[in-house]
Structure 1
């Protein structure tokens, strides 16, 4: 689904170019940065492998009166594959730090409101650990600070988490061999029905949005995807919540099979001051399944927290 946007890049120390996209709304492209410099900024951080159309409802809601930017992880979208081969969480966080600073430099000098989905929740929380001055507020959607259940105490939980990491590491040598079959499946008519049958996709999931997502995954480097996934299996950011002192919004879905509702509920318990929304009849693809509801909730949160003037309320 096409957007009007201006694409720019920042360079990481290893030479990897990281893409970020400023949504233009109805503005002429040559006037975008000048016209948007004084607007409140919103920075969108994806899930692993996520195509940009997942953000389309939030972009449509905010782009006319905000400076809305989304960026791409290494090996995703318009960003280069990692020139050093590094896809660790720490490196992704450093990339987000550079994008955030560039966004501030080209705008009014103020840090943006961060909106994160899925894997992006971990990345934004790690940036808060590293540079809390860059995150004045955050919306965390269908994502947890670590792998499923990593917050649970006890030896059994640690064994389960360790077994999951070992399984992912063991499969890694097979990724080049499996990639053609995975791409063929994603290109087939079976991909969408399979998602419905497994419960990963709900009835509200638009077929066109998911087809675009599958096409994006087909174009992506299997190595970039898998190494990014491996990086997520190392450590977690649950401890960051103890130091969070900025307005935070948590958005969960009732039928999310990727990020268990128990993880989102635990986030709510350890951050009781957070604004909470539970979206009904939606799964992990809630950004497209219940996009208008989520976009309205984000804008309402911005108004309630004084991040934007009440005059901007829908």
Structure 2
């Protein structure tokens, strides 16, 4: 993919082989909201990992992980352009909207994938680089191409891709995978189904129209609600595991326990309220709280650990 024409600075647009698009369009192709979560959870994994890393190496590693996540998003948008086009939630994405051609999105994603893995492997270590390569492969090939259009368990299995960043961050510092990093992985892995299915309950017509066998479409809203509760029951104690295993303190444990109870209460509310606008409200309340839940858990892990390091050095 080559830059063939640099238009005026006032338009802010560049032309790439395969289509014309603004820098903002290409940035949107990276799924920046997802990327921000990847950066934050990977950073937490880096900070919690024993031994520490040089700030410059850490920054380069974090940047490579972010670019790898963005590359996955670009390849996902390339492959899913046909179904994105018929879903109201995704119709304005750059590829289905025609602002970026499918071939340009593919080239962009492939180049960034290779670049991010090579940089992480060479500049940091190849354990982290290999995990990043596997994560990109898993999200693009296993989830996007293999699972998403074939099974209602797509988000359960595919959710592993979004759970790898803290493990990659940990490996960037230690060069290894540990029980602690696996626990961080499990928190995000178990969080993904209730988080995503809450939104899918509201957007089920979109998925049905696109022919995507999301859980509410295939198994029905009732089964989806029950599974949201089941995963929430499993998530709550897993969220407290960092304290139980000794790599987080009591402050984190207390926050995780309270948030886990609230998460479960909202999930039960989703299961109980099944009709009318109130059902939609309950589902969206859980969806938005789930974002707060995950952010709060990793934020407290990060702040608590930095506070301990500060007190130890004082």
Note whether the superposition's TM-score is higher than 0.5. no
More strand, by proportion:
1
More helix, by proportion:
2
**Based on CA coordinates, which of the two structures has the bigger radius of gyration?**
2
Query: Which structure has more RCO (C-alpha within 8 Å, separation ≥ 6)?
Result: 1
- TM-score, scaled relative to structure 2: 0.29
